[in-house]
Amino acid sequence: MATPVDTTPAVPAADPTVDTTPISPTRSAPARRDSLEKHLAQRPNVEELKARHILLDTNAAPALQQTQHELERQKITDNLKKGLEHRPDRGSLVERNIMPASTAAPALIAHQRELEKHMRQDSLESQLKKRPSPEELVKEGILADEEAPKAE
């Protein structure tokens, strides 16, 4: 003999701990309208959007704006290429003392220049120390007696 089958759907009983409130609370129509009006009042105007490059500052038809933008970019690219073709090479810039002849890293060039300056300073000081006195120059006949500076 067959046992009767229960055909009622298995729906769990309502659990009192489950929150059934909607995720987005529904507002009344006037409250939604006020919120929309407030947001529209804070909306930036067309000039601000153009200044921030959100809207294109053009009078072209919207269908042609993308093509116009691409043409402007291509024009800029072409101008840059022309400028780079006429750019002087490194050798001529070194000859004209625009660029240093150093092969040091750019971060070290300032230190290298300072070191060269101090080396020239030290060399000049050592040469001045070795310089003969006016009396020695008169003795050797390099300087005439009347040309020698008088010590006071």
Better-predicted residue by pLDDT, 33 or 22:
33
For residue 3, is it within any domain? no
**Contacts (Cβ under 8 Å, ≥6 apart) of 93:** 99
Tell whether the model's pLDDT for residue 8 goes beyond 60: no
For residue 93, is it within any domain? no
Do 81 and 112 fall into the same domain? no
pLDDT at 9: 54
Angle, alpha carbons 89-90-91 (nearest 5°): 95
For residue 61, is it within any domain? yes
Domain end residue (candidates: 62, 87, 112): 87
For residue 130, is it within any domain? yes
For residue 94, is it within any domain? no
With H, G, I as helix, E, B as strand and everything else as coil, classify residue 37.
Answer: helix
Whether this prediction's pTM lies above 0.75 is answered by no
Per-residue model confidence as pLDDT tens digits over 119-137 = 999 999 999 999 998 888 8
Per-residue model confidence as pLDDT tens digits over 33-52 = 888 888 888 999 988 988 89
Do 44 and 81 fall into the same domain? yes
Better-predicted residue by pLDDT, 122 or 16:
122
Structural domain count, the chain:
2
Domain end residue (candidates: 40, 63, 87): 87
Domain residue limits at 38 = 31-87
Better-predicted residue by pLDDT, 150 or 36:
36
Per-residue pLDDT, averaged over 101-109, amounts to 84
Do 38 and 83 fall into the same domain? yes
Do 145 and 118 fall into the same domain? yes
pLDDT at 11: 53
For residue 128, is it within any domain? yes
Per-residue model confidence as pLDDT tens digits over 59-102 = 888 788 888 889 999 999 999 999 999 999 989 999 998 888 88
For residue 15, is it within any domain? no
For residue 20, is it within any domain? no
Q: Which strand (E) or helix (H) includes residue 134?
A: helix 134-139
Q: Which of 116, 134, 113 is nearest to 124 (CA)?
A: 116
